[in-house]
Every structure is written in structure tokens, then in C-alpha cells.
A and B are shown apart, each in its own frame.
Chain A
Amino acid sequence: MTQSRWLPYALIAPAMVFLGIFFIVPLVQTIMLSFQGGSGFGLENYSKMVGDLNFGLAIKNTFLLVLTVIPLQVGLALAMGMMLQKMTAGRDVVLWIWTIPLGVSDLAAGLVWLALLQNTGYINSMLFAMGLIEGPTPWLNSETPVTLFVAVVLAEVWRATAIVLVILVGGLQLIPKEFGEAAEIFGAKPWTRFTRITLPLLKPSLQSALILRTVLAFEVFAVVYALGGRNFPVLVGEAYVWQRENQNYGVAAAYAVLVMIISLAATIFWLRALRTKPEAQA
């Protein structure tokens, strides 16, 4: 029996309608909004955004965060994934525990780390009780940008490394063990096997994980907001401030469009950088 030609389209239609209503329409609206200023259609919102005091800082902070957090997360997830591959007993339990932070929302994660790190937090109390500090030490205000940054990095790594791990573990399991064994037989030491065999064969999974994580990392907001408020401006945080506090939807939309463009650029970057030549595919 030949299938009717419209059946595949009928089957994906609901998904397309959903995507249209809840994604494409708001997207187009946002883009339109970003070009609508008090004096009509133009770049007014964008010049306001760029002219703002916090703009440069938000760009710098966001990129600094992404460039610190992503390598840490990928490195950690790779190490954890390779450890899991070596384990036989209790592997699933360890994987399960490692992925618990995935179930915690980013705001909740920020609050957890706030409870640990604020002036009267657990860590301060503990250090004080051990006699290591004189009194409550502030780590998260504008006078301590380094510790604030470190705190945000810690919280982000704790919260979102697991998603990279899950993708990489899936990829590692797809690599037949004979590849590693053949390499071992022919004299490749563990590190060589990792760099010459495992990493290249893991490239497709690494690519997915990096695209997903980079896009999400450029949207970082709740953790930063919980820990530092506006002491550590980031792009999405600025969009939020313009929308909520300044009630200026146009500039907020301009920020949103900027984040989208950066995310698209990052995606294209990873698609190119980690391309597997079609003939070299497994």
C-alpha cells in the first residue's frame, strides 16, 4: 500500500500549529517590538540599550560566565562520564545521584547557594564556628566581584553539568567497546585512547551538549539574580530590569533579540567547529 502523500504533513501539523502560536508569533512580536520606539519604527531601543551604563558590563559578565562555565562543565562531565564507563556495580545509582540537580529549578538552585554563601549563611557560620574568620564575611556584594563571580560559576556548574553528563553518557554508550580494545591492543595508552579514539567518536554528542549548554548559558539569569541581584549585571537580567522596573518593553525586547542573535551565532559556531565529515561518520 502506498501511503497518502499528505499523511506525514497531517501528523506534524499539530506540532507546527503549537510551535507557530507559542513560539513563532511571540518571536516575531518581540522583534517588531524591539524596533518600535517613541518616535516610530527605528533603532531607538537599540541605541538606548547600548547607551546604558550596565550594557557593556552585562556583555562582559555574560561572556565571562559562558567562557568559564562551559569548559568547566564539559571537562567535568567528560571526567564523570568516563568514570561511569569504568564502573560496573552501582553505576546507575551514581548517575542518578549526579543528575539530581537537573530536577532543581534554576531559581531554587540560586537560593540554595544563597543560603550557603550569604553573610549569615551556612558556610560563614561554619567558618566562624571553626574560628577561621572573625565574623560574617560578605562574599556576594558589589565590593567582592571576584567571590560573587566564583559563587555564580559554582552554582551554575552544580546546577547544569548534569545535562551535559547525560548527553555525553548517551554518546559514550554508543561507541562500541571494540574500538577502545583495538586501540589498546595496538599500543594506545589510556590518555591516547581518550584523545585519539573516544573524543573524536564522541564529537556528535559533544556538539549537541555544547549547543544546548551554550545557548542556555547565554540566557543565565535566575541564579545570578538570586545570588547577586543587580551587583552582577548579565544580559537577560538587564532585559528583566528594563521590562519590570523601567517598564520599557522596547529596550527589553532589544535585549531579547540580542541574546537570540548571540545564541544563533554560538550554535553556528559549534555546528562548524565540531562538524563530522560525512565520509568519516561511524
Chain B
Amino acid sequence: MAGIVIDRIAKSFGAVSALKEVSLEIADGEFVALLGPSGCGKTTLLRIMAGLETRSSGRVLIGGRDVSDLKPYERGLAMVFQNYAVFPHMTVYDNVGFGLTMQKKPKDVIDRQVKKAAALLHIEPYLERYPAKLSGGQRQRVAVARALAVEPAVLLMDEPLSNLDALLRLEMRAELKSVLREAGTTTVYVTHDQTEAMGLADRIAVMHGGKIVQIAPPTEVYSRPASMFVGGFVGSPPMNFIPVEARAGSVALGGQTLAAPRASGALTLGFRGEDVTLAPPGEAMPFTVRVAEPMGSHLLLTGRIGDAVVRVVAPPASIVKAGETVGLRLDPDRIVFMDAATGAATDLAA
């Protein structure tokens, strides 16, 4: 078991700077998701941790030991690849036992560990089969079992579920979470899917343009995003942003007066679609509905406040039609203010 310290890791590919001095501390046994849009440097960071990619500068520590210049297999970690990378010319048994075979473990130890990992991932019936005879979900289980069989201190996963269909992804997600919790393995999980990150991780590191822009537990990333980017990237629907003007330390919005973090000036107000209540149009912020989508569990309303596009989640039984104007009342405890110029959160307490 081991914690991970990423100390000012930077990486450039020629003129392209993929990572800009990224630092991150992961506790022993913690599950951290690296979340961000495609091309933000998640894979590069994970591969540098694994030792598959060279770094331009900085250090990686695992279990307090500087592993920056060690070979991948000297770092005491295992990895699950996006395309599984399950060896096609070996049976499932040999695949799962590959790491132990490489460590020259005795046959009976290998057998015990393979059976244990196979049981954990429910792949015992396929042990003698070749991967070509397995479905995508089963191959993914083999890849995870191969990683867990070596009982690694650290498990790295790069978008392990992205090649599975939606239903299987949901199933595997829950299963991964319980299996890894049981194993107590320190896990770094790369994904561009915010629901995956929210569901799995103890903490989410949101990446953008080669930097970590926020690292916090899922609920905090969701309700207290560090920037407009995070608010817009995490959550479905994304956070709504409307421009407001602070006067005398508060913001007046259609009948509501909200405490502002600054005495005066332009701000951006952020709120989640579900943190509003519908009110008669005269008594609250006027919201012109363009589209109403009944989603079953809720009613999704898309429309405008002023010039800003806003999405609101209303109770499923609400009677709102497209073209109507309704009032929105905000929950003052669940709003965030962003600097209008930089998009960064302005902490109310500051």
C-alpha cells in the first residue's frame, strides 16, 4: 500500500506543452479520478506515473520513494489500458497470471492468486479460454484481474470503461468500485466522463489545458466548482452562468437580494439547474422557456435569462410549456460567484 506524490511534473512534446507543472498528492488507499476533456493531458500524466512516458521535469514518489527514474516494473504498480491490452495469444489464465509469472512466483502461488483475482472479477468460467472468445466486458474484467493478481500497491487505469456500451459501463462501474474498495488499492483513474468520476472517486482532480484546476471530493467539485470551466464540465446539465452586477455588497435579482463577495462590479453568478424553485413570473427572476423535455424523473427546461442560456431541472409533474415565462427563485446557499473576467470562483468568505 502506498500513497503517491506528484511533484511539479511538466511534459512537452516538442513545442507542445502537454503538462504544466502538475502537483498532486494521493493518500494511501485513495481513489482519485483525473477528469478532463480530451487532450488535456490525463493520459500523459498517468503514463508518466507508470514510467511509460518520460517527463520533462518534476518528480513522482510512490510510497515515499522517488520512482522518477525507475523502470515501470520497479515502481510496484499495475495498469489497466483503454483497449484492455489483454494478450490474444494467451489463455485468460495465463493473462491473469502474467505478472506473477514474470515475478517468477511458484506455480501454486500463481494458481492461488489467479483463482482469487478471477473470483473477484467473476471470470472463473473463462480461465481456459482465449480472449478472442470473450465479449468486451469480459475482456475488461480479465484486464482488471491481471492487474489485481499482482496485488499492486498502486493501480492506474486509463479510461477502462470507455469501450463498453452504456449499460455494461454502469454495471462495471459499480463492480469496480466495490472490488477496489475491498482490495484497498490506491487507484488513479483517468476518464473524460464526469458521471464515472463522480460515482467512483474519493476525490476528483479536474484537468484543463495541462493543469489541475481543482482537486476536491465529488460533491464539492459539483457544488463549489473552482472555475466556470469546472462548473460547465462537471454535471449534467452543466452549471448555469448569468452575468450580474454587484451594488453595495449585494446582487439584486428579480425580487431576491443575494450577498455578493464584492462591494461592486461585474460578476458571474453560477447555479445548478436543480437548485431553483419555480415561482410566479412577477415574484422572481423571469425565465423564458424555449424547450421542455420530460425526462421521467424530472422535467428539463431550456430557456433564457436575459441573453444567457439556462437549463433548469423541475419536478416531473410541473406544468410548464415551451414559450411560457416563469419565475426562478435561487437557493442562496447553493450559488457561486465567479470573477467575470477570469472565470475563477470568488470565495464568499474572502
Query: Interface residues of A, CB < 8 Å — how many?
Result: 22
Report, as a range, how many residues of chain B touch the other chain: 20 to 34
Name the interface residues of B66-103: CB closer than 8 Å to any CB of A.
71-73, 77-79, 81, 83, 85, 87-90, 98-99, 102-103
Q: Are A197 and B81 in contact (CB under 8 A)?
A: no
Mark B residues whose CB is within 8 Å of A. 50, 52, 71-73, 77-79, 81, 83, 85, 87-90, 98-99, 102-103, 129-130, 132-133, 146, 150
Complex-state Cα separation, A183 to B150, whole angstroms: 13
Interface flags for A200-219 (1: CB within 8 Å of B; 0: not) read 11010000000000000000
Q: Contacts A281-B132, A282-B132 given; indicate if A186 touches B88 (C-beta within 8 A).
A: no
Contacts of A179 in B (CB 8 A): 85, 87
Complex-state Cα separation, A132 to B146, whole angstroms: 61
Q: Are B88 and A280 in contact (CB under 8 A)?
A: yes
Contacts of A280 in B (CB 8 A): 88-90, 130, 132
**Which among A178, A187, A188, A280 has the greatest number of chain B C-beta atoms within 10 A?**
A187
Can you sample 8 A-B contacts with CB below 8 Å?
A183-B87, A183-B102, A185-B52, A187-B99, A192-B102, A201-B88, A280-B132, A282-B132
Complex-state Cα separation, A34 to B70, whole angstroms: 67
Question: Which 4 residue pairs of A and B lie closest in terms of their CB atoms, listed nearest first?
Answer: A187-B102, A186-B99, A178-B85, A187-B73
Complex-state Cα separation, A273 to B208, whole angstroms: 52
Contacts of B89 in A (CB 8 A): 200-201, 203, 276, 280, 282
By secondary structure, the A interface counts as helix
Contacts of B150 in A (CB 8 A): 186
Complex-state Cα separation, A115 to B102, whole angstroms: 52
Contacts of A279 in B (CB 8 A): 129-130, 132-133
Q: Contacts A186-B99, A187-B99, A188-B102 given; indicate if A197 touches B85 (C-beta within 8 A).
A: no
The listed residue (A176, A185, A203, A281) touching B83 by CB distance below 8 A is: A176
**Is A92 interfacial (CB-CB < 8 Å)?**
no
Q: Are A182 and B132 in contact (CB under 8 A)?
A: no
In the complex, the chain A residue whose C-beta lies closest to that of B97 is A186
Complex-state Cα separation, A181 to B150, whole angstroms: 16
**Is A184 interfacial (CB-CB < 8 Å)?**
yes
Q: Are B88 and A182 in contact (CB under 8 A)?
A: no
Interface flags for A158-182 (1: CB within 8 Å of B; 0: not) read 0000000000000000001011011
The listed residue (B77, B90, B133) touching A185 by CB distance below 8 A is: B77
Q: Contacts A179-B85, A181-B81, A201-B88 given; indicate if A186 touches B132 (C-beta within 8 A).
A: no
Known: A183-B98, A203-B89. 10 other contacts (CB 8 A): A181-B85, A182-B81, A182-B85, A185-B50, A185-B52, A185-B72, A187-B99, A187-B103, A192-B102, A279-B130
Q: Contacts A176-B85, A181-B81, A280-B89 given; indicate if A186 touches B102 (C-beta within 8 A).
A: yes
The listed residue (A178, A186, A200, A277) touching B98 by CB distance below 8 A is: A186
Contacts of A183 in B (CB 8 A): 87, 98, 102
Complex-state Cα separation, A201 to B132, whole angstroms: 13
Interface flags for A261-282 (1: CB within 8 Å of B; 0: not) read 0000000000000001101111
CB distance from B114 to the nearest CB of A (A): 13
Q: Are A186 and B133 in contact (CB under 8 A)?
A: no
In the complex, the chain A residue whose C-beta lies closest to that of B102 is A187
Contacts of A188 in B (CB 8 A): 73, 98, 102
Q: Are B146 and A186 in contact (CB under 8 A)?
A: yes
Contacts of B73 in A (CB 8 A): 184-188
